[in-house]
């Protein structure tokens, strides 16, 4: 592929294996941090306090009452 075509298509640059590996390792660090943050948010959501619902409150679902 010619350089001008690669630039037009927005394709990534071609690099050697060590550069690719370094960028991949850096990306994995970011991905793991993202996963840990998502897990922490989900855990915080599970720990949210609950609100008691009055037993006389009618509950209506897709099949009705």
Q: How do the pLDDT tens digits run along the chain, 65 residues long?
A: 566 666 667 889 999 999 999 999 999 999 999 999 999 999 999 999 999 989 898 889 999 88
SS3 38: helix
Residue 2 pLDDT: 62
Residue 7 pLDDT: 63
Angstrom CA distances, 5 to 15, 16, 21, stand at: 17, 20, 25
The answer to whether 50 and 43 are in contact (CB under 8 A) is: no
Residue 57 inside a domain? The answer is no
Q: Which residue range forms the structural domain that includes residue 32?
A: 3-46
Residue 63 inside a domain? The answer is no
Residue 59 inside a domain? The answer is no
Tally of structural domains, the chain: 1
Distance CA 4, CA 16 (A): 20
Quote the pTM value: 0.60
Residue 53 inside a domain? The answer is no
Distance CA 58, CA 22 (A): 58
């Amino acid at each position: 592929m010619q350089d001008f075509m690669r630039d037009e298509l927005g394709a990534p640059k071609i690099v050697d294996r060590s550069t690719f590996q370094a960028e991949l390792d850096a990306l994995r660090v970011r991905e793991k941090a993202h996963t840990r943050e998502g897990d922490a948010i989900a855990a915080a959501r599970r720990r949210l306090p609950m609100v008691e619902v009055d037993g006389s409150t009618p509950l209506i679902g897709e099949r009705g009452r």
